[in-house]
């Protein structure tokens, strides 16, 4: 039995209200078996019962995970948790790709209403932030100039945002960025055609895929052998049907024990010199692009921001989904908390106002109020945007 897992279970039984109530695990070695499987929904119902009594929530760092498919969940971590859970990743980044914590980095970030006043580009310490949501023909000029001035050594992004960045940079007459030494991609499936596109544009960069869940952080990291190696100092993993159960070995302020991650992931022992376990991602989050009237592509993430705006300060939209059904049409399906006549008119109007000021305003907008939005049959996940006419993804067969 894993010693770190043992310690975490003992601690949770003693100090975390949700786990201290669970009977039938007197023997430490059996404790793991008796622990219940926990989903995001279960945690979001009573999040305070998952926080250790050894900490005060106010004194902890917190992160809000976006709640497009249901209730958002606030995650709490102590400084010690954050430090301990990032150690192995930084060790590997340094050893495999030569980047360290103090190197200049560029992050393509997804703006959230949690921090509404964040500008399109800004520098915080050794990180240059560029808004992935605002990526278009105009902002790319600002982004390229910011990168030229700042000279980052490496880039952290999700694959679709970086793909858009490269497309717009090429359109703007920037054909390569040889100063970038390393690129780390996370948050979505990394398609082969994306990888090829990045290798060409960032001609001197090594590329690594980082698999993680927003709630708990990085789970597996692509080493130069090409495998996604599990960060075993951080996680204990097991299969759960097609999904996995994740236990964060360095999360003490708010433990994640047997937490379901609804990606289709295969875990196996590696046969390479790096040892440990490796994973293959069979299905995970994907992002389609919106095709604009001028045939350019745009990120659909802005729709998230709109719904967040409409839902501030009170939740009015419970779920939504957007579909581009043809070259000229975006269809919004919306589930309302209160389906009154006044509410329907009000929310449709709010959405139209946001839409007319956006880069999508040359497309027709259809809004329909529905009772429920179903999850994607293929991935078992809720997907907020579909493009029925273009597919950008090319996967390895």
Residues in touch with Zn ion (CB under 5 A)? 225, 227, 272, 274
Q: Please give the Cα distance from 179 to 201 (Å, whole number).
A: 11
Shortest Cβ distance from residue 272 to Zn ion (Å)? 3
Q: Please give the Cα distance from 23 to 5 (Å, whole number).
A: 18
Shortest Cβ distance from residue 377 to Zn ion (Å)? 33
Do 276 and 383 contact (CB within 8 A), yes or no? no
Of 22 and 272, the one with the shorter C-beta distance to Zn ion is 272
Of 124 and 269, the one with the shorter C-beta distance to Zn ion is 269
Shortest Cβ distance from residue 276 to Zn ion (Å)? 8
Of 206 and 227, the one with the shorter C-beta distance to Zn ion is 227
Q: Please give the Cα distance from 85 to 69 (Å, whole number).
A: 27
- Closest to 389 in 3D by CA, of 306, 266, 290, 303: 290
Give the tokens for residue 147.
């990168």
Give the tokens for residue 33.
């078996």
Of 35 and 223, the one with the shorter C-beta distance to Zn ion is 223
Do 131 and 168 contact (CB within 8 A), yes or no? no
Q: Please give the Cα distance from 293 to 273 (Å, whole number).
A: 51
Contacts of 68 (CB under 8 A, 6+ apart): 304, 307, 319, 320, 382, 384
Shortest Cβ distance from residue 270 to Zn ion (Å)? 5
Shortest Cβ distance from residue 86 to Zn ion (Å)? 21
Prior bond of 229 cis (ω within 30°)? no
Decide the pairing of beta strands 297-298 and 290-291: antiparallel
Of 20 and 274, the one with the shorter C-beta distance to Zn ion is 274
Shortest Cβ distance from residue 55 to Zn ion (Å)? 37
Of 207 and 305, the one with the shorter C-beta distance to Zn ion is 207
Shortest Cβ distance from residue 229 to Zn ion (Å)? 6
List residues bridging with 385 in a β-sheet. 322
Shortest Cβ distance from residue 220 to Zn ion (Å)? 11
Three-state SS at 283? strand
Of 220 and 367, the one with the shorter C-beta distance to Zn ion is 220
Of 274 and 312, the one with the shorter C-beta distance to Zn ion is 274
Chain centre distance of CA 112: 12
Do 208 and 97 contact (CB within 8 A), yes or no? yes
Query: C-alpha distances in angstroms, 342 versus 147, 312, 347, 367?
Result: 47, 18, 9, 15
- Range list of H helices, 93-157: 139-150
Q: Please give the Cα distance from 42 to 38 (Å, whole number).
A: 6
Give the tokens for residue 212.
């993680």
Backbone angles phi, psi at 281, to 5 degrees: -95, 115
Of 13 and 227, the one with the shorter C-beta distance to Zn ion is 227
Shortest Cβ distance from residue 266 to Zn ion (Å)? 15
Shortest Cβ distance from residue 279 to Zn ion (Å)? 11
Of 149 and 271, the one with the shorter C-beta distance to Zn ion is 271
Three-state SS at 246? strand
The number of C-alpha atoms within 13 Å of 140 and in the hemisphere containing its C-beta is 19
């Amino acid at each position: 039995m894993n010693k770190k897992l043992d310690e975490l279970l003992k601690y949770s039984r003693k100090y975390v209200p949700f786990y201290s109530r669970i009977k039938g695990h007197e023997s430490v070695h059996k404790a793991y078996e008796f622990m219940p499987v926990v989903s995001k929904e279960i945690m979001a119902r009573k999040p305070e019962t998952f926080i250790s009594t050894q900490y005060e929530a106010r004194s902890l760092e917190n992160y809000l995970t976006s709640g497009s498919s249901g209730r958002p969940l606030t995650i709490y971590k102590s400084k010690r948790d954050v430090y301990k859970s990032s150690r192995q990743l930084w060790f590997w980044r340094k050893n495999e790709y030569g980047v360290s914590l103090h190197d200049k980095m560029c992050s393509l970030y997804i703006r959230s209403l949690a921090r509404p006043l964040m500008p399109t580009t800004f520098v915080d310490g050794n990180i240059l932030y560029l808004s992935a949501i605002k990526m278009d023909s105009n902002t790319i000029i600002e982004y390229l100039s910011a990168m030229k001035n700042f000279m980052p050594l490496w880039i952290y992004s999700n694959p679709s945002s970086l793909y858009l960045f490269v497309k717009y940079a090429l359109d703007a007459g920037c054909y390569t960025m040889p100063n970038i030494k390393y690129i780390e991609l996370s948050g979505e499936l990394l398609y082969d055609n994306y990888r090829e596109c990045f290798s060409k544009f960032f001609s001197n960069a090594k590329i690594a895929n980082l698999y993680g869940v927003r709630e708990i952080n990085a789970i597996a990291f692509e080493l130069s052998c090409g495998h996604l190696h599990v960060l075993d100092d951080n996680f204990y993993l097991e299969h759960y049907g097609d999904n996995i159960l994740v236990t964060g070995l360095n999360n003490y302020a708010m433990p994640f024990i047997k937490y379901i991650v609804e990606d289709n992931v295969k875990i196996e022992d590696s046969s390479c010199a790096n040892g440990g376990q490796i994973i293959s991602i069979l299905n995970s989050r994907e992002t389609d692009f919106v095709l604009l009237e001028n045939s350019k592509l745009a990120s659909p993430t802005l729709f998230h921001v709109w719904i967040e705006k409409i839902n501030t300060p009170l939740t009015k939209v419970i779920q939504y989904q957007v579909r581009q059904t043809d070259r000229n049409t975006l269809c919004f399906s919306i589930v309302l908390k209160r389906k009154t006549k006044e509410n329907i008119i009000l929310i449709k109007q709010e959405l139209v106002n946001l839409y007319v000021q956006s880069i999508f305003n040359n497309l027709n907008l259809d809004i329909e109020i529905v009772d429920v939005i179903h999850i994607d049959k293929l991935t078992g996940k809720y997907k907020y945007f579909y493009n029925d006419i273009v597919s950008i993804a090319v996967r390895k067969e």
